[in-house]
A = this chain, B = another copy of it.
Amino acid sequence: MAQPAAMPVGAAGVAVRQASLREHNLALVLRHIATAAAPPSRADLAGITGLTRATVSALVDDLITGRLLGEVVRTPRSGAGRPALGLTLAGHGPAGLGLEINVDYLAAVLVDLAGVVRHRAVRRIDLRPVPPAEALALVAELITEAGAEADRQDLVLAGTALAVPGLVSATGVVRLAPNLGWRDVDVPALLGGHPALRGRGLSVDNEANLAALGELHAAPPGPANFIYISGEVGIGAGIVLHGTLFRGARGWSGELGHVPVHPEGRPCRCGGLGCLEQYAGQEAMLAGAGLTDEPTPLAGLIEAAGRGEPAARRALVEAATALGVAIAGVINLLDVDTVVLGGVYAPLAGWLAPPVEAEIRRRVLTAAWSPVTVRPALLGGDAAAVGAAGSVVRTVLEQPAQWLARPVH
C-alpha cells in the first residue's frame, strides 16, 4: 500500500483503448484546473490542452456530474462576449484522510480536493510506552471523529493514508519503527476494517515520504526536484524527482540518517559507524549543546541559539556541517536543486542553513553553475499528516475516471 499514484494513465506495458484515452484526458483537464492560478473556463482549457472545446465540454460535464468540479462566475470580466464560467475543484466532493503516528503525538487531517484542510486533530501523547495495538485504538478514535466530521461537511472519504516514523513494506506492514519500538506491525490488518474508512483501504507509508509529498503540495506547481529532510529522533529523507516521490527499488529509500559521514566515527544503533544520525540527530544536537536534562529540550535549544549561547551555536554548526557533508553527497549523486529542512530542523533552519550551504559549495562539483537552495519546510508539525491526506487527494486527481466509476456503497 506504500505505492499510491505512481503510474500515469497510458503508462508503459498497458494496452491502450478508447476508454484509456478518456481516462487520460479527464485527468489532463482536471490537473489543469487544479494547478491553475484562477478558475479557468472550458475555452481556456481547450486552449491550454490543445483539445477541442467540444471535447473539453464533454469531459467537464462528466467531472461536474461526478462532483469533482464546480462552476463559479468570474466577476471581473474582460471585454465583450458571452461570460465564461470558471471551473474549480469541488469543495463538497471527495476528501482525503491523513493520519500520523509519531513518538509524541497523533494527528489526523481531512483535506478536500482543493487542498484545503477541512478538519484537524492532534493528540499529544508519549507513545513509546504504549503497545502498538493500543496506539492504533487511539488512531481509530481519530478516524471515527474525522469520518463524522466528513459527513457533517458533506465530504466523501476517498481514502486514508497513515504516516509512521519507520520502514514500511509495500503491503503496509511496519517492519521497523525504532523510536516507537515497533517491529512487524500489520497496520492494515489491525485498522483497515474500521467502518469509517468505508472499505476504501488504508495505505501506510514512511513519515518523511509523506511529509515530502505535503511539501510538494504546498509548493507552487512545477517539476519539483528536492530532498525533504525530516529531522525527528531519527533522520529521514523524502526524495522528490521530477515532481514525483521516489521510493526506491523496493520502497526503502531515504534512510539519510544512516549515510556514513565519518566512516570510522561514533557507533550507531544500526550497527554501522559514523552514521549521520550520530552527528546531526536530535539527541546529538541536544547533547552537544548540553541540554539533555531540560523539560522541553528542543524549545531550550532554539532559545539558547537565539540568545547566542556559544555551546548551542557550536552544537548547531557541528550538526549542520555533518548534515551538509551528507547532503553534498546526495546532490553529487542526484542533482536535486533544493534542500528542504523539515521536522525539528525547520525552526532551526536560520542557524543550520548557512553551514549546510557552505558544505554544498565546497563539495558539490556543479554548485558553481547550478545553484542549490536550502530552505525551511513550508508546512508545520503535521506535515506528514497533511501530505498523507494530500496523497489520497492526489490519487483522485490523477485518476478521476477510477473515482467516477467507483462502486457506490
A residues with a Cβ closer than 8 A to B are 8-18, 20-21, 24-25, 27-28, 31, 49-51, 167, 175, 223, 225, 237, 239, 241-242, 246-256, 258-263, 270-273, 275, 321-322, 325-326, 328-330, 332-337, 362-366, 369-370
User: When the two chains form the complex, which single residue of B15, B246, B253 contacts A51, counting CB atoms closer than 8 Å?
Assistant: B15
Given contacts A21-B16, A260-B328, A362-B272, contact A337 B250 (CB under 8 A): yes
A302 to chain B, nearest CB (A): 26
How many copies of this chain are found per oligomer? 2
Is the pair B51, A24 in contact by a Cβ cutoff of 8 Å? Answer: no
Sample (21) of A-B pairs whose CB atoms are under 8 Å apart = A12-B28, A13-B28, A13-B31, A14-B50, A15-B49, A16-B25, A17-B21, A248-B336, A250-B366, A252-B335, A252-B365, A255-B333, A255-B364, A255-B365, A258-B332, A258-B363, A259-B328, A259-B329, A260-B363, A330-B333, A333-B334
A64 to chain B, nearest CB (A): 20
Is the pair B249, A336 in contact by a Cβ cutoff of 8 Å? Answer: yes
Give Cα A252 to B330, complex, Å: 12
Is the pair A363, B15 in contact by a Cβ cutoff of 8 Å? Answer: no
Residues in B whose Cβ lies below 8 Å from that of A251:
335
Is the pair B332, A250 in contact by a Cβ cutoff of 8 Å? Answer: no
Is the pair B263, A325 in contact by a Cβ cutoff of 8 Å? Answer: yes
Q: Which of A20, A237, A272, A369 is the most central at the interface, judged by chain B CB atoms within 10 Å of its CB?
A: A272
Give Cα A223 to B49, complex, Å: 32
Is the pair B253, A335 in contact by a Cβ cutoff of 8 Å? Answer: yes
